Structure formats: C-alpha cells, structure tokens
Amino acid sequence: METHAHGPQVIVDPTTLNPAKRTLLLNGALAGDETLEPVEEALLALLREERTEIRGYAMRDVPLAHCQGCFECWTTTPGLCKTEGDAGREIAAALIKSDLVVILTPITFGGYSSEIKKAMDRIICLVLPFFRRVDGEVHHSQRYPSYPALAAVGVLPAPDEEQARIFRSLVGRNALNMDCPVTAVCVMEAGTPPPILRDSLAADLEPVLAHVGGRVA
C-alpha cells in the first residue's frame, strides 16, 4: 500500500496475477461516516479474487477543486481540465486507463455523495463536446476508443425503495453517457452482516467482476 502525494490511499496488490486488468475504486464516504468500511473490505476481497490491480481513492481525503462549468477541457486544453495542482487530472487518467470503475457511496437523496460528485464532475474531459444519438436520445461523442465497466455500490441507512430506484437510474444514465461496456448496481443497507453483504455484492456485481476477471458471466 502506498501513500499518494495528494493523500489518497493507493492499493496495489503485489500478489496480483492479472496486472493487465485495472480497477479504480472511488470511496465516497463523508467525513465521520465509517459505515462503508465493511463494504469496502468485502469489495476489495471480491476484486482480489479476480486478480485485478486495484487503485483506490478515499475521496474525502482528496482535495479537489469544483468543476467550473467553463468547458475549457473541451476547447482550450482539449481532454484536460484546466485546473492543475490537485488530483483531478490524475483521477481522470486513472479512470480512463481502468477496465472497471467501482463507485462506493452512501446514497445521498438518491444520488452519489458529494465526495463522489466532486470527482465525477471533473471527468467530462473524457468525452468530446460533440453530440451523438443513442436510441434517439442525444449524448456526447466518445473521445477514447473504449471506456471502463461501471459498478456502483450504494449504501442506505435504511431500506428506501424510492432512493434505490433513483440511484439505479443515475448509474444507468452515467453508464450510457460514458459508453460503459458492462454495468452493475448493488444497493444495500448499512450494517448488513458480512456474509450477507459479501453474497449480495458477489451476486449483484457478477457481470462486472466477470468482465474484469476475464470470465464469462
């Protein structure tokens, strides 16, 4: 385990047997919230079974300026956010070089936590400003030839069907806009016992785990 200049935890498993496959894990736990820790542990265990290289960011420890909505990453410094000196460019690079991105977040009003959003807002440099149509709906064209698979694990303090539905919808929209080849979502409650937690993650994330592990789901 290494400590990065910007403060995030970087997890590179030295025993990895399949280093060609890379996973980026963004942990969106808010300050003082430790309820995601057992979920992250279970996630890491599952990912290690797939022998993928794992790079993780605890976003609350990563200083990141907010997206200014200036679109200069499209027109002035194409493909790069103009903001330098924080981890924005590094996270965008890690994302596009990954085979799988895992978003672990407390579900906040049905969406991602602000700690995840501060990273997500900074990755629009990964697409082009130009438009394309997907099933009759307009989206941005792709800058890169391929994009990572997307897994999202949302943790609720208590069962909430409405927020779970919104969360699944949000992940689906992200996957559509990022042209993700495979997508999986897992919604669970904080405090789920470890055996159930692991089984839920394994079942719900199987398509993306198989993708990064090079297995047939």
Write out the residues near other proteins by the rule CB under 8 A: 30, 66-70, 74-80, 89, 92-93, 96-97, 108-114, 117-118, 120-121, 123-126, 128-131, 137-139, 143-145, 162-163, 166, 169-170, 173-174, 177
Q: Give least dist CB 4 to other proteins, A.
A: 17
Q: Among residues 50 and 148, whose Cβ is nearest to other proteins?
A: 148
* Angstrom distances, CA of residue 53 to CA of 158, 159, 181: 33, 33, 19
Q: Give least dist CB 14 to other proteins, A.
A: 25
Q: Give least dist CB 207 to other proteins, A.
A: 21
CA 213: distance to chain centroid? Answer: 17
- Residue 127 CA to residue 139 CA, distance in Å, equals 10
Please count the other Cβ atoms lying within 10 Å of the Cβ belonging to residue 214: 13
Q: Give least dist CB 167 to other proteins, A.
A: 9
Which run of H or E residues covers position 40?
Answer: helix 37-49
Q: Give least dist CB 70 to other proteins, A.
A: 8
Q: Among residues 57 and 112, whose Cβ is nearest to other proteins?
A: 112
Q: Among residues 69 and 195, whose Cβ is nearest to other proteins?
A: 69
DSSP state of 29: P
Q: Among residues 48 and 143, whose Cβ is nearest to other proteins?
A: 143
* Angstrom distances, CA of residue 61 to CA of 22, 41, 66, 79, 93: 22, 18, 15, 25, 18
Assess contact for 126 and 148: CB atoms under 8 A. Answer: no
DSSP 155-188: EESS--HHHHHHHHHHHHHHHHHTT-S-EEEEEE
| Assigned token pair, 54 | 């794992």
Q: Give least dist CB 165 to other proteins, A.
A: 8
| β pairing state of 183-189 and 149-156 | parallel
Q: Among residues 136 and 193, whose Cβ is nearest to other proteins?
A: 136
Q: Among residues 109 and 195, whose Cβ is nearest to other proteins?
A: 109
